[in-house]
């Protein structure tokens, strides 16, 4: 709730300007303030909804990773609660320059500590479960670029012209 309130209050006005610009270009009859108001109202609905969906999806991913590693000793709702509570530091994003970085690190630490405590498992399993999705995505991205680079190098070595 705290994160959703922050996102409604702060990010809505930042994103509202972008939405207003696109709405204004679509409907030239609307004036600037009206388009901005419409953008803000749209973001008041979209941001909390996307925040809830994102928290639910990340909780599910963490819980699946914990299950794969044998560390999920409690039901999904416990993982969901930990992820919800650990998003509190996102309020620090309001601080300029380092706020987002501090919030991200603190959230990561709280997630790891919370999952370890709730599921009564080891830090090793929890750390692997939290970083496994990132490693998985980065691995696929690395393989994708390796295939592209291999194709480019292979075509250069074979003398193909573009």
- pLDDT tens by residue, 115-143: 999 999 999 999 999 999 988 888 888 89
Nearest to 70 by CA among 143, 135, 119: 119
pLDDT digits (tens, 9 = 90+) for 148-160: 999 888 888 887 6
pLDDT digits (tens, 9 = 90+) for 41-96: 888 888 888 889 999 999 999 999 999 999 999 999 999 999 999 999 988 988 88
Residues 17, 12: Cα–Cα separation, whole Å? 9
Q: Which residue has the tokens 């991205």?
A: 141
């Amino acid at each position: 709730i705290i994160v959703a309130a922050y996102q409604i209050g702060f990010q809505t006005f930042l994103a509202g300007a972008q939405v207003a610009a696109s709405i204004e270009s679509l409907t030239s009859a609307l004036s600037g303030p009206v388009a901005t108001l419409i953008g803000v109202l749209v973001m008041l609905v979209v941001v909390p909804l996307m925040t809830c969906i994102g928290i639910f999806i990340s909780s599910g991913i963490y819980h699946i990773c914990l299950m794969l590693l044998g560390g999920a000793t409690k039901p999904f709702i416990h993982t969901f609660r930990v992820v919800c509570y650990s998003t509190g530091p996102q309020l620090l994003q309001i601080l300029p320059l380092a706020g987002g970085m501090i919030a991200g690190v603190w959230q990561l630490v709280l997630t790891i500590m919370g999952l370890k405590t709730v599921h009564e498992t080891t830090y090793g399993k929890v750390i692997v479960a939290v970083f496994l999705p990132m490693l998985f995505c980065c691995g696929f991205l690395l393989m994708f670029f390796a295939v592209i680079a291999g194709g480019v190098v292979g075509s250069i070595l074979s003398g193909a012209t573009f």
